[in-house]
């Protein structure tokens, strides 16, 4: 029997052996059929068993995020986003006995939860073991039974229809396969379950577009050549598509912009590094600017960071010398279908015509 050395290879065998197509199997092929505008097209070389472009080095992300957590416990931007997300639980009449919290700013969600949403069992999941350990050590509220596990959003190890609520605050924008992750979330939810996510949007740091120019110049000077440091962030129009295609019912998208003022460009760059939003792009040395949306998340080595800051300050300093950086956060909500949700009626079953409605409400135009 041929030895298969890759864990992924084992899955290929499994798929071929299974004659009966199960609902789970479509979670693997979904990434092939999705092509929303922007960065989620299926182009690129084939990696392992999917045709999606592998943009992010997830191992790098695992280590870096743990580092961020240990250094920045009071990041107000991150807290504001988590708070906004958790606030939505109070708007629902429903309570959610079991909740799964996906990586991103896990710590903020855990800290700010405060018994909202009627959650009795909380499961915290992240790709980084260190991050999960920090969360477990930091747990100070024992009124909610909390479990911890290390897992990947793109390969969700959660049984179908098993949790009432899934929350992800500033985590999903780092997945290579966002549509696939969202589908797996939908599958894991119980009927009438809720999916709540906050991701960074494509307009983030647009204001600092000039910083990108400065960064490019600095990089070219120092390291001779251009290395892509851009991250394909979703646009607001993509968010709605993503929710519908994942199969969520009653999708909702709204956007918030947070403007954070920095004393200097260097402070902004340092904050980005501290937030752990480091560049995990795999194709570091190929000039592929054209593929990505133009937002900055960079891992700048110290020298390039200083050079960038100097260029920016000299070219684009504002009147009072501060740098305003805009973070666009897209909030997505979706429900797992349930018989109580309003459904669109079957085509041809209308009992009232538009002409009647028009007559009813008057008006010539």
Residues making contact with another protein (CB under 8 A): 1, 4-8, 10-11, 13-14, 24, 27, 59, 98, 121, 123, 127, 129, 132-133, 136, 142-152, 155-160, 162-163
Q: Between 202 and 276, whose beta carbon lies closer to another protein?
A: 276
CA 51 to chain centre: 20
CB of 126 to another protein, least distance (A): 10
Q: What is each CA distance from 82 to 116, 150, 198, 240, 288, in whole angstroms?
A: 12, 21, 8, 21, 33
CB of 294 to another protein, least distance (A): 31
Q: Between 195 and 312, whose beta carbon lies closer to another protein?
A: 195
CB of 192 to another protein, least distance (A): 17
Q: Between 98 and 264, whose beta carbon lies closer to another protein?
A: 98
How does strand 98-102 pair with strand 121-126? parallel
Q: Between 145 and 303, whose beta carbon lies closer to another protein?
A: 145
Q: Residue 115 region, left (φ>0) first, then alpha (ψ -120 to 50), else beta?
A: left
Q: Between 132 and 234, whose beta carbon lies closer to another protein?
A: 132
CB of 46 to another protein, least distance (A): 17
CB of 24 to another protein, least distance (A): 4
Q: Between 89 and 158, whose beta carbon lies closer to another protein?
A: 158
Q: What is each CA distance from 307 to 74, 217, 301, 311, in whole angstroms?
A: 28, 9, 10, 6
Q: What is each CA distance from 334 to 186, 203, 260, in whole angstroms?
A: 9, 22, 29
The token duo for 281 is 């792009």
* φ/ψ (deg, to 5) at 264: -155, 170
Q: What is each CA distance from 9 to 3, 5, 48, 157, in whole angstroms?
A: 10, 7, 8, 18
CB of 69 to another protein, least distance (A): 15
């Amino acid at each position: 029997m041929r030895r298969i050395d890759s864990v992924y290879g084992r899955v290929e065998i499994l798929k071929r052996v299974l004659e009966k197509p199960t609902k789970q199997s479509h979670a693997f092929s979904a990434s092939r059929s999705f092509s929303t505008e922007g960065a989620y097209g299926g182009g690129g070389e084939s990696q392992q068993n999917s045709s999606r472009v592998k943009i992010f080095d997830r191992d790098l992300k695992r280590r870096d995020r743990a580092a961020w957590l240990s250094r920045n416990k009071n990041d107000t931007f991150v807290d504001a986003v988590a708070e906004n997300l958790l606030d939505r639980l109070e708007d629902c009449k429903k309570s959610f006995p079991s909740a799964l919290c996906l990586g991103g700013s896990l710590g903020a969600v855990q800290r700010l939860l405060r018994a909202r949403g009627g959650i009795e069992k909380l499961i915290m999941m992240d790709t980084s073991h260190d991050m999960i350990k920090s969360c477990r050590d930091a747990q100070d509220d024992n009124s909610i039974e909390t479990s911890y596990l290390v897992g990947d959003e793109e390969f969700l190890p959660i049984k179908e229809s098993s949790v009432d609520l899934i929350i992800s605050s500033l985590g999903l924008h780092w997945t290579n396969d966002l549509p696939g992750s969202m589908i797996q979330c939908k599958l894991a939810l119980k009927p009438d379950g809720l999916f709540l996510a906050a991701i960074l949007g494509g307009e983030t740091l647009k204001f600092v577009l000039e910083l990108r120019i400065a960064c490019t110049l600095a990089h070219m000077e120092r390291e001779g050549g251009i290395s892509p440091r851009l991250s394909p962030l979703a646009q607001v129009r993509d968010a709605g598509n993503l929710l519908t295609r994942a199969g969520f019912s009653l999708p909702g998208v709204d956007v918030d912009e947070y403007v954070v003022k920095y004393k200097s460009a260097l402070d902004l760059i340092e904050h980005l590094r501290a937030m752990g939003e480091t560049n995990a792009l795999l194709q570091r040395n190929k000039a592929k600017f054209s593929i990505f949306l133009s937002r900055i998340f960079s891992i700048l080595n110290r020298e390039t960071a200083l050079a960038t800051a100097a260029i920016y300050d000299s070219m684009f300093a504002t009147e009072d010398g501060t740098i305003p950086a805009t973070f666009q956060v897209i909030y997505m909500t979706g429900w797992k279908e349930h018989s109580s949700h309003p459904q669109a009626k079957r085509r041809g079953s209308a009992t009232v015509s538009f002409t009647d409605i028009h007559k009813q409400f008057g008006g010539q135009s």
